[in-house]
Amino acid sequence: MKAELQARLDGWNASPDWVVKRSDGGARASLLAVPGEPPALRFEVELDCAASACADYTIHRLLETQGEWNHSFLDGDRVDEGDHRLYRLAYAGVWPVKPRDFVYRAWISPDDDGGATEISGSVVDERFGPAPGRVRGRILLAWRRVEALGPDRCRYTSIAQSDIGGHVPGWMVTPGVIKNMFSELGHIRVALGC
Domains, the chain, in order of start with CATH, read 2-192 (3.30.530.20)
Q: According to the model, what pLDDT value does residue 11 have? A: 92
pLDDT bin (cut points 50, 70, 90) of residue 110 is very high
Could you check whether the bond before residue 151 is cis, i.e. omega within 30 degrees of 0? no
Q: Do 145 and 159 contact (CB within 8 A), yes or no?
A: no
- In one-letter notation, the amino acid at residue 43 is F
CA 25 distance to own-chain centroid: 20
Average pLDDT of the residues of the chain: 91
Q: Which residue has the higher pLDDT, 170 or 102?
A: 102
Query: How many angstroms separate the CA atoms of 113 and 110, rounded?
Result: 8
Q: With 80 as the cut, is the pLDDT of residue 169 above it? A: no
The stretch 60-66 carries a mean pLDDT of 88
Secondary-structure percent of the chain, ordered helix, strand, coil, rounded to 5: 30, 40, 30
The stretch 169-184 carries a mean pLDDT of 80
pLDDT digits (tens, 9 = 90+) for 17-50: 999 999 998 999 999 999 999 999 999 999 999 9
Q: With 90 as the cut, is the pLDDT of residue 174 above it? A: no
Query: How many angstroms separate the CA atoms of 60 and 54, rounded?
Result: 9
* 14 burial via Cβ count (<10 Å: 0-12, 13-18, 19+): exposed
Q: With 90 as the cut, is the pLDDT of residue 117 above it? A: yes
pLDDT bin (cut points 50, 70, 90) of residue 90 is very high
